[in-house]
Amino acid sequence: MKGERRTAISLFTSGGIGDLAIRAAGYDILVSNELHEDRHAVFAHNFPETTAITGDVREHTARIVEATRERLDGRPLDLLYATPPCQGMSKNGRGKLLNAVRSGRKPAMDERNRLIVPTMTIARELRPSVVLLENVPEMEGTLIVDDDGELVSILDFIASSLGDDYVGRAEVVEFADYGVPQCRQRLITVFTRDERLKQRLEEAGSLLPRPTHSESGSEGTRPWVTLREALADVPPLDARDADSARHDTIPFHRVPLLDEMKSWWVSHTPPERSAFDNQCVACGHDGNPTHVARRNAEGINRASSTTPVYCERCGELLPRPSVETADGRRRLMKGFTSAYKRMSYDRPASALTRNLSYACSDNKLHPEEHRVLSLYEAFRVHTVDRYDHEWQRADGRKLNDKTVREIIGESIPPAGLETIVRFVTEVSGGLDRPDTLDRPWSDSTREPAAATVAN
């Protein structure tokens, strides 16, 4: 395999953000599948050489297998990359959930979790050297009903579907630990039938590279990359005014305007705090109770509903998120303590979600400026800017911001994934000469994202 590009297919491809990493690590994505046409059109624009099959994986299973065989033309399949949607995954522990379902306290399983079934059918048919799955950490505790109607954990289902040839492990990864300027935890599951990788798993107990970064920067790692570093040299914006809410020449460096009331709350929010904690601007009193959350009788964390919106000293309205009531007064807006909250400049960004442009969503405010992050900044924090990628659709139709936010919010930062895929590839012997690896899609001016560290 030396010097040659490897073969991969991608399931649940969305706009292909993870695929940027896989391609940069030396793989050709032969076939992709995604349900949503608008997302897949962005992938198709950036991966014109891939056979892109749009539609429900359950209906296209045979077609995906057939198209892959055709594209492989006798070569082996090196990697199956699959990222099934995570909305149906549960936070409960495996044992607890199993008991709850068996005793009838939990209803039937979420159908979305069963998307692993066609994924495994495809894996069984194509027998890739490596199966790499990415999902929320909760996947580890998720149960599904298998084809025999038995309730099994999703990870046991994967292992038994793949058969004895494969061994694997699921590990929770913090992407900031791979130098990504964003805290984002994901479950990375790697199953393999490659002998070197099997040996590696047996010896090291893991198929993932050792973290290059950590919060404290200790034990041979570098400190997490901060938002300040990630956004260095980005021109300021201000959501209070239409002219300053967008940059004239930097594409996507624009933010939604804030109305007068929201601007008032946001512009009085100190670094790392939520607007719900803002103090009095009329008399300067700074001892008004802040917004707290407590566990209720059912153990659910609930934000206080008694947080004041009028200053306890002078009675003036506080710049806290509030709504008008029938009597012309205002009451606290419903919101958690992390709503209208500024991210910290001195840490990686909070995990980007599809709500990244909404100030009212959790941890979405810029560390200092009066606004949320722009999409341009989101691309940097998500490391997409390091890859040759265009936010365009293959069909030439207009791409809306909502689709861009969904694609970002549901994907993982490619620089972190590239580190993982390069490591797996190197251990399996595919990167004996990594320096000669053709990386036409990566920006050669950036710091290499793929520093592989042996455990």
Ligand X SMILES: C[S@@+](CC[C@H](N)C(=O)[O-])C[C@H]1O[C@@H](n2cnc3c(N)ncnc32)[C@H](O)[C@@H]1O
The contact set with ligand X (CB under 6 A) reads: 12-15, 17-18, 33-36, 39, 56-58, 83, 85, 115, 407, 410-411
Distances, alpha carbon 29 to alpha carbons 56, 229, 240, 437, in Å: 19, 32, 44, 16
Q: How far is the CB of 81 from ligand X (least distance, A)?
A: 7
Length of the chain, in residues: 455
Sign, Cα dihedral of 146, 152, 154, 160: negative
Minimum CB distance to ligand X smaller for 17 or for 318? 17
Q: How far is the CB of 413 from ligand X (least distance, A)?
A: 10
Q: How far is the CB of 189 from ligand X (least distance, A)?
A: 14
Q: Tell me how many helices (H) and strands (E) the chain has.
A: 12, 15
> How is residue 78 written in tokens?
């090196």
Gyration radius of the chain's alpha carbons? 24
> How is residue 355 written in tokens?
């709500």
Q: How far is the CB of 22 from ligand X (least distance, A)?
A: 9
Minimum CB distance to ligand X smaller for 59 or for 432? 59
Asked if residue 390 lies in contact with residue 379, where contact means CB atoms within 8 angstroms, the answer is no
Q: How far is the CB of 433 from ligand X (least distance, A)?
A: 28
Q: How far is the CB of 438 from ligand X (least distance, A)?
A: 22
Minimum CB distance to ligand X smaller for 263 or for 403? 403
Minimum CB distance to ligand X smaller for 165 or for 395? 395
> How is residue 394 written in tokens?
């293959």
Minimum CB distance to ligand X smaller for 17 or for 280? 17
102 phi/psi in degrees, rounded to 5: -65, -35
Minimum CB distance to ligand X smaller for 34 or for 238? 34
Minimum CB distance to ligand X smaller for 275 or for 404? 404
Question: Going by C-beta distance under 8 Å and a sequence separation of 6 or more, which residues neighbour residue 52?
Answer: 13, 31, 32, 33, 34, 40, 43, 44
DSSP helix/strand/coil, 54: strand
Question: Going by C-beta distance under 8 Å and a sequence separation of 6 or more, which residues neighbour residue 442?
Answer: 24, 386, 387, 388
Asked if residue 140 lies in contact with residue 94, where contact means CB atoms within 8 angstroms, the answer is yes
Q: How far is the CB of 237 from ligand X (least distance, A)?
A: 26
Neighbours of 300 (CB within 10 A): 9
Q: How far is the CB of 324 from ligand X (least distance, A)?
A: 39
Name the amino acid, one letter, at 166. Y
Minimum CB distance to ligand X smaller for 12 or for 47? 12
Residue 217 φ/ψ region, left for φ over 0, alpha for ψ in the -120 to 50 degree band, beta for the rest: left
Minimum CB distance to ligand X smaller for 370 or for 380? 380
Compute the distance between CA of residue 34 and CA of residue 128 in angstroms, rounded to an integer: 20
Q: How far is the CB of 254 from ligand X (least distance, A)?
A: 22
Compute the distance between CA of residue 118 and CA of residue 59 in angstroms, rounded to an integer: 9
Q: How far is the CB of 136 from ligand X (least distance, A)?
A: 9
Q: Are strands 27-34 and 143-145 parallel, antiparallel or unpaired?
A: unpaired
Minimum CB distance to ligand X smaller for 11 or for 360? 11
Distance, C-alpha 25 to centroid of its chain? 19
